[in-house]
Homo-oligomer: A and B are copies of this chain.
């Protein structure tokens, strides 16, 4: 049993750190019968999953996610990978761990910020697929306590169900990208500006913006749109840096989900129901981003 540690934070999901870990496994003479145990947040499960899946053409790995975000999102569904510069998850693979252990007691070690960051993805699971889950999460006082096992389990179930039907994200799984086309742009820009946003905070802002687009493109009722914006604003802080809509657009245009240069979003048609492959006009995105900025 040998242990490898990496620096906390998104910057460890890099080619350099990956290369160091490849070298470390090689020096420790890890072989095809070795098992990699990933203990940590989403950075560790993403990075460790990719590391294991590419070392000697793939060794087994198991995940013990320690953050709420990793428990309900990163470690469910087999996405592994690293960032390329500021492009999130540009390099990676679909590969499931042998086993994922979710232990509630890890959550006691989390700050409110970390808890909220994971909570954003739980809210998303409700929005795209289960109105009741959304409602029970809105009723939950996440600012003062961490979610119980029942809430976490429900959120994991929703995601697992969606992933099971479309592991390689050729169709339905794309609905899990709601909030992420714009959310990832906030996140990438925050890295570039050296004021890193927690993933969930970026996604919360992405969900607000994409709820507004949902109203225009899929007829999401105005009162639902307003409720989403209200819930996000009451739980998540404002974007803590100045930016121009154009800076976000550069990242949005480079999104993995786009096909042949067309902006490809997943949006809501109603509370608990999402559609994927919605082609969105650049101009509409710019308008929403400018609106968000002026109303922050």
A15 to B22, alpha carbons, bound, how many Å?
10
Q: How many residues belonging to A are interface residues under a CB distance threshold of 8 Å?
A: 36
A256 to B19, alpha carbons, bound, how many Å?
18
A57 to B78, alpha carbons, bound, how many Å?
11
Residues of B near A259 (CB, < 8 A) are: 31-33
Query: Which residues of A72-129 are within 8 A (CB) of B?
Result: 79, 81, 84-85, 87, 89-94
Contact segment of A48-56, A136-144, A198-206: A48-56
A23 within 8 Å of B (CB atoms) = yes
A44 to B253, alpha carbons, bound, how many Å?
30
> What per-residue 1/0 map shows which CB atoms of A190-221 lie under 8 Å from chain B?
00000000000000000000000000000000
Query: Which residues of A141-180 are within 8 A (CB) of B?
Result: 168-169
B23 touching A85 by the CB < 8 A rule? yes
B31 touching A260 by the CB < 8 A rule? yes
A58 within 8 Å of B (CB atoms) = yes
Q: Known contacts being A57-B79, A94-B57, is A256 close to B23, with CB within 8 Å?
A: no
A237 within 8 Å of B (CB atoms) = no
B22 touching A91 by the CB < 8 A rule? yes
A54 touching B92 by the CB < 8 A rule? yes
